[in-house]
Chain A
């Protein structure tokens, strides 16, 4: 905002919402007042500003604070240490840093007693000590004192030596508008409430790897190599838990698998550090909603961390009040994530109750089971993803990825059977066919994520799908297309074996009304194809012969 604009905002402005503000600073504040009043007026508040006479800040600190007056201190380094003031010139003799520090502390302790908001301009200062290092140390120390007052730090370029020396106004005229805007934003925005509950994904967040695929010995969360970022993340969560933050995990996994890593002797976090570990294949937004209801917390008290942008987007859409943080794919980005989480859970006071909170809530949640995902409508979310499903007939070529998928996938796996190259080729030589599907969406390319091996009698011998794309109805679209364009029998015949890990596949077969006999799940082909018709519109289908 510029000078005339500020005047025009205030011209004829009136409001019933009034606020008394005491702007306390050692320099001349007049022009800043104009801009602050204009910023308040833009927010429909009639701000009546009082100021103190030039260079009387220290005297003012000795007077009692008036009730019902909002105090706002705009501080400069010389307000802590007067000998740094440009208007006094450089001191004849150098000062010992310790003496300077002591003096600054005394002044700061007077400020500490005020119920006020503080702003600190990190203005350049005159040299006090004999060495550059000592002078820098003094400046850093003063910054530390300001931060102890929870001051918002304003940049050096808000200071103008010219206007300060000539008129006693320590800020540049050209910066007044921006300065007032920054100050009003802080003055008129209520302090954000620290979040209370951190809900975290497990695979590729708490550890590197997928526990359901890589097994407990294959995941990495130790302070070395690929495990390092996850080790740091776990140690951050341990600290947050110790300062009263509730931890919960929500993972698309089997329950025993999800908990297993926390039972290892060397694990940083243990099962009892979480209020609950929810492992299910239902949508995470439904799990989060149910958890928050059980804990009697608001959704705005929650932070959700996941590495998968699709999961993040789904939660953002279903539960916009939840703060979502993406666990970074690049190690360097972890710095920002740690900062963000630290700020979201920042707290100044820590009580014994805070430290014991997890135990109390664990009791409350004992026996909670994962909920079904019917509470959250996925369809609009899926439609918004712009999914492109490419189905490829691989009977004659490029079968390596398909064989690899079949031999490593555990969760969405029809029967857990592994094939050698030779066995694989035998099936194909006997009139069998191999189809794969790859998926792209607005978040990127997921690559080849489905493989399906069919023998010459149209028996589906193998059907696997990567756990990365569960909950997107990809398997239904893929099989729906097969049922319509490839398979001819009255029934889909799937060679099914229940394994320890293929719960998602079992859920799929049950939902599709399969009849089980002699190791084969039978589903009426036409009825199945019809059921899948509506969801085909979620995809752009590309078929490559």
Chain B
């Protein structure tokens, strides 16, 4: 994943989960982020699909439980 794609992904997480700019995104997980509910999950998936022109199947969408897992998933999808 390129640097600019990583930045875009960070922006999607910050926008959807309403995280402050200084948040260390690699520490962000579904179980430690109160705003990460089922609707936020839908918004994250839509943001990722729309921004990177990929389509995530349900099983893939459910793998996104942290920023780090999302990076890994996208790296797999985009290679």
Contacts and interface: CB of A to CB of B under 8 A. Distances in A.
A131 B11 CA distance: 50
B50 interface: yes
B46 to A, nearest CB: 4
Mostly helix, strand, loop or mixed at chain A's interface? helix
A174 B12 CA distance: 15
Given A30-B39, A173-B50, A167 B15 contact: no
Contacts of B39: 30
A7 interface: yes
- 8 residue pairs, one from A and one from B, having the closest CB atoms: A173-B49, A31-B46, A173-B50, A173-B46, A3-B47, A166-B58, A3-B50, A167-B42
B46 A2 contact: no
A173 B12 CA distance: 14
Interface of A: 2-4, 7, 28, 30-31, 160, 162-163, 165-167, 169, 172-174, 176-177
15 contacts: A2-B51, A3-B50, A3-B51, A4-B8, A7-B11, A31-B46, A162-B57, A167-B42, A172-B49, A173-B47, A173-B55, A174-B50, A174-B55, A176-B46, A177-B50
B48 to A, nearest CB: 8
Contact of B43 (A31, A165, A172): A31
Contacts of A162: 55, 57-58
For chain B, which range describes its interface: under 10, 10 to 19, 20 to 34, or 35 or more residues?
A: 10 to 19
Contact of A4 (B15, B42, B53, B57): B15
Nearest to B7: A4
B7 to A, nearest CB: 10
B71 interface: no
Contacts of B48: 173
Contact of B53 (A31, A167, A174): A174
Interface of B: 8, 11-12, 15, 39, 42-43, 45-51, 53, 55, 57-58, 61
A363 to B, nearest CB: 61
Contacts of A163: 45-46, 49
Contacts of A177: 50
Contacts of A30: 39, 42-43, 46
A526 to B, nearest CB: 75
A385 B40 CA distance: 61
Given A4-B12, A31-B47, A172-B55, 12 more contacts: A4-B47, A28-B42, A30-B43, A31-B46, A160-B55, A163-B45, A163-B46, A166-B58, A167-B42, A173-B50, A176-B46, A177-B50
A7 B58 contact: no
A2 B49 CA distance: 10
